[in-house]
Structure 1
Amino acid sequence: MTRHAELVVPGGRYVLRRARIPGCFLHAPSAFGPADADGSFLVDLLIDNGLVADISAAGASMPADGPAIDLAGRQVWSTLLDVHTHLDKGQVIPRAVPDGTLEGGARATIADRQFWTEEDIAARMRFGLQCAYVHGVSMIRTHLDSHEHLAPRSFQVFRAMRDEWAGRIDLQAVGLAPLAVFRTDWGNRLADLVLQSGGVLGGVTDALGVYEGAGDAEMDRLLDAFLMAAAERGLDVDLHVDQTEALDPFALPRIAAAVLRTKFKGRVLCGHCVSLALQPDDVARETIARSVDAGLDFVTLPTPMIYLQDRKPGRTPRWRGVTLAQELLDAGLKVAIGGDNCRDAWFPFGDHDMVDTLHQSVRIFHLDQPFSRALAMAGPMASDIAGAGRHGRIAVGAPADMILLSARTLNEAMCRPQADRIVLRRGKRVMDPLPDYAELDALAGMPA
């Protein structure tokens, strides 16, 4: 058998024979015969000028002539999505030195902003996007720190990056600010900027968002103002919610109540929600039920959260720092997995590699029974949450954007890093290398 990394992808019109595709990536997968033990289907794909022209059960109806690659049952996935990142603050190691705490991350980020010129933000975003592209990510939603004197600069860079990367990575932006700004005129002006940039309105509900110790009634007023600003402009919203181990204030049920109270019609995505896992069982069940009523979506960020949460000097952490992903899924709610911070003041690791994030998520959340549920959380379910259309699916008529793995089963896929993966974009193999960290050395403030 030809070694996986040495497979030659012909381009133009060709067939991928005996591709094993997890059912979550396919529309009506049962049409392709019986599933294997992983819920994957053995199929042939016809690729024609960058599009998936046909999918059929393996050996059923593909042309016998013309170029073909026999994948011999290797896994084929759609390219993946990362619907919660922070490209604007990433790639600042060792300029910023994390201390592993939430409060330290906030302080170090504020200090690092002295270097955030347009050129600096663009260089770091470009580096992160190149990593994601090579690893097989085709859609990213990035939060942009949106304080009054920073947001115009960050959004200008974002719009330039969105144009520069069009056709490689589809980008969405979230204007992220403390809910407290919706007491002020800046909240409405930020919403206007988000609208002009085709983005999503963001907010932070807890102490990290300068909640200022306000009581429940004030949080309700801020949430109403936030949702009203979004509704008036037809914007979806994306919130950082309950990011600490503190049980009170507990914002998630108040968000659900605010959505129902205001009759907000847009998508509402709640990120983090880690304290949900620490609430008493009856409170957690009631909160999940309210979330169902309000139609909330969720994104969990396991790798930075397991690093940051329950960190105390000289003490091993006692909990994993992640939300109740299985319970939310079991309630019928949509839950995505996101990469979150990457080599920044909050989390010094990461490479915008959603295959790696999936590997870690399966272990952290016990998502191995079945594996396919985890794949959907970075594929079609994440796409539905972000309104990202074709991303996360392999379908006739769609671009041939796929990841070809050397693994045959999902167990094999989770046991090795899949560093020999082949990424196809519009049917052509991505040959670009990962960027060299030395490219960041010239940025202001980087040690010589």
Structure 2
Amino acid sequence: MRLVNAALPAAVQEPPGEDLALFDIAIDGTRIASVQPAGGSPIGARDCKAGIVVPAFVDMHTHLDKGHIWPRTPNPDGTIAGALGAVRTDRSTHWSGADVARRMEFALRTAYAHGTAAIRTHIDSSPPQDDISWPVFAEAKERWRDRMTLQASSLMAIEDVPDDPTALFDKVTGHGGIVGAALHPSPVTQRKVEALLAEAEDRGLDIDFHVDETLDPSSNCLAMVARAVTALPFAGTATCGHCCSLMTMDEAEADRTLDAVAEARLAVVSLPMCNLYLQDRHAGRTPRIRGGTLVHEMRVRGTSVAFASDNTRDPFYAYGDLDMMEVWREATRILHLDHPVGDWPRAVSATPAAIMGLADRDRLAPGAPADLVLFSARSWTELLARPQTDRVVVRGGTVINARPPDYRELD
């Protein structure tokens, strides 16, 4: 395959150059062979006609085990408390291996059709669900290994993490996963976080936490994680998702926390669509605060920031389609990732790939995988104005014909 007149964001060029400059891309087998300034003959090539081309998406914070349960168990009031209760009920009633596998497969087919090449999912891991969902994930990982890179992290409330996490690590790593937990202020949070970090460090593993998914400014588990990582010290990548309380925190406290995050080299993943849906929700009252976290202040400090889908059609988020183009578009609107666009395009591909330890997905350059998404849009305003349902997905140097599956398959 050969692409001509492809507009590349400066953020994915090597070296970075003029934004949306035109290039010709030659593909040899499953890898990019060359990227040259445009000027080649369109004969025998796919002419992109100045359409934007980006690397395949990387969605590093999802919940494939929860997806698509909304039709049978909706959130009664749209709040986090309502979501937790609804999921608890649905899980105890329906989450057999066959049920989780069916919904997980539907979700993966959807993400693949939209142009995603790698996903990290959080797996609800409190017993007895752990013995059901982890084997399902391991089977999906193997089944999809030629089409999608899959990673998984365990998820449970920090209070439910065993004092001795050895058995938890054994089970999760036995299925190729890493360990994580949902953090909020409690008497046991710091002690258990330190135990998880120490065990992960001993095993040479990364770790992935849900942190401060609240607008309560007194909730600052993020600073606690940063201090613990620095004190250990922790050599792996510690990822913190959500970090919403920073949006309401006193400026001085937020600045101190952001400095500590940078010093600890934490990675942060923001989930703006789900947090916009859940946060500041009160019946009969218009929300005042956006979902998200202080991504611009993090980027200035050199912190790695990614954006991801989070939940999909479950009690935590009634919408979503594991479409990283939608995540990118909405994150730009919610958190002002424009004027200039700068290197924010990396936050849906190269940055999460680096956090997940995926090689070669950080650029469009010779030797990189020929996994691309082609748009007819020629400018940022064209790209971000529409859902881009006419995108072309290239995987392994070949245009795929996959389409998102019909919801009727889940009836």
TM over 0.5: yes
User: Is the contact made by 1:140 and 1:171 (CA closer than 8 Å) also made in structure 2?
Assistant: yes
Q: Does 1:179 align with 2:166?
A: no
**1:211-290 mapped onto 2 (5 Å cutoff):** 213-214=186-187, 218-290=188-260
Q: Kindly tell me: are residues 92 and 162 of structure 1, through their superposed partners in 2, closer, same or farther at Cα, counting changes over 3 Å?
A: same
CA distance in 1, matches of 2:117, 2:220: 34
Tell me which residue corresponds to 1:106: 84
Partner of 1:124: 103
Per the alignment, residue 382 of structure 2 pairs with: 412
Aligned residue runs from structure 1 range 72-221, under 5 A: 72-98=49-75, 99-113=77-91, 114-185=93-164, 187-206=165-184, 213-214=186-187, 218-221=188-191
Does the aligned pair in 1 maintain the 2:166–2:199 contact within 8 Å? yes
Distance of 2:28 and 2:114 partners within structure 1: 23
The question of whether the paired residues in 1 share the 8 Å contact of 2:105 and 2:140 is answered with: yes
1:49 to 21, 24, 29: 29
Per-residue CA shift, 1:153-188, capped at 9, x if unaligned? 211000100111112111000011222234434x32
3-state DSSP of counterpart to 2:376: coil
Partner of residue 14, structure 2? 27
CA distance in 1, matches of 2:113, 2:42: 31
Q: Equivalents in 1 of 2:28, 2:291: separation in Å? A: 45
> What do you get for the CA RMSD once the two structures are aligned?
1.5
Determine the C-alpha separation between the residues in 2 that align with 1:219 and 1:201.
Answer: 15
Assess if the C-alpha contact under 8 Å between 1:139 and 1:391 holds in 2. Answer: no
For these two proteins, the number of residue pairs brought into alignment is 409
Q: Distance in 1 between matches of 2:11 and 2:175?
A: 32
Counterpart residue type for residue 84 of structure 1: H
SS at match of 1:370: coil
1:335 is aligned, of 296, 305, 316, to 305
Once the two structures are TM-superposed, the CA of residue 220 in structure 1 deviates from its matched residue by 2.3
Question: What TM-score results when the alignment is normalised by the length of structure 2?
Answer: 0.96
State the alpha-carbon separation in 2 of the partners of residues 180 and 226 from structure 1: 12
Q: 1:67 to 1:290 in 2, by over 3 A?
A: same
Deviation at 1:65, TM superposition (A): 8.9
Please name the residue that 1:317 is paired with: 287
Structure 2 stretches of 5 or more lacking a match?
A: none
Code of the residue aligned with 2:137 in structure 1: it is F
Is this contact kept in 1: 2:247–2:292, CA < 8 A? yes
Contact 1:85 1:142 survives alignment (8 Å): yes
Distance in 2, Cα, partners of 1:50 & 1:172: 22
Which has the larger displacement, 390-399 or 239-248? Answer: 390-399
TM-score w.r.t. length of structure 1: 0.88
* Residues 247-303 of structure 1: per-residue CA shift (max 9 Å, x gap): 223211111111112111110000000001111000000101111111111000000
Q: Which is further off, 153-162 or 67-76?
A: 67-76
| Cα deviation digits, residues 199-249 of structure 1 (max 9, x gap) | 22111111xxxx6x42xxx43212211111212222100000001112223
Check whether the contact 1:22–1:41 (CA below 8 A) recurs between aligned residues: yes
Larger Rg: 1 or 2?
A: 1
Once the two structures are TM-superposed, the CA of residue 390 in structure 1 deviates from its matched residue by: 2.2
Gap runs ≥5 in structure 1: 1-13, 442-448
1:109 and 1:19 mapped to 2: Cα distance? 44
**Do 1:174 and 1:238's aligned partners in 2 also have CA atoms closer than 8 Å?**
yes
Q: Structure 1 stretch 21-30 or stretch 255-264: which is displaced more?
A: 21-30
Partners of 1:410 and 1:268 in 2: how far apart? 32
C-alpha distance in structure 2 between counterparts of 1:397 and 1:351, whole Å: 31
Deviating 4+ runs (over 6 angstroms) = none
When residues 279 and 429 of structure 1 are mapped into structure 2, their CA distance, relative to the original with a 3 A threshold, is: same
1:407: Cα distance to partner? 0.4
SS in 2 for 1:81: strand
Cα drift, residue 55 of structure 1: 1.1
Deviations, residues 337-371 of structure 1 (Å, cap 9, x unaligned) = 01000001111101000001111000000111222
Higher mean displacement: 352-361 or 20-29: 20-29
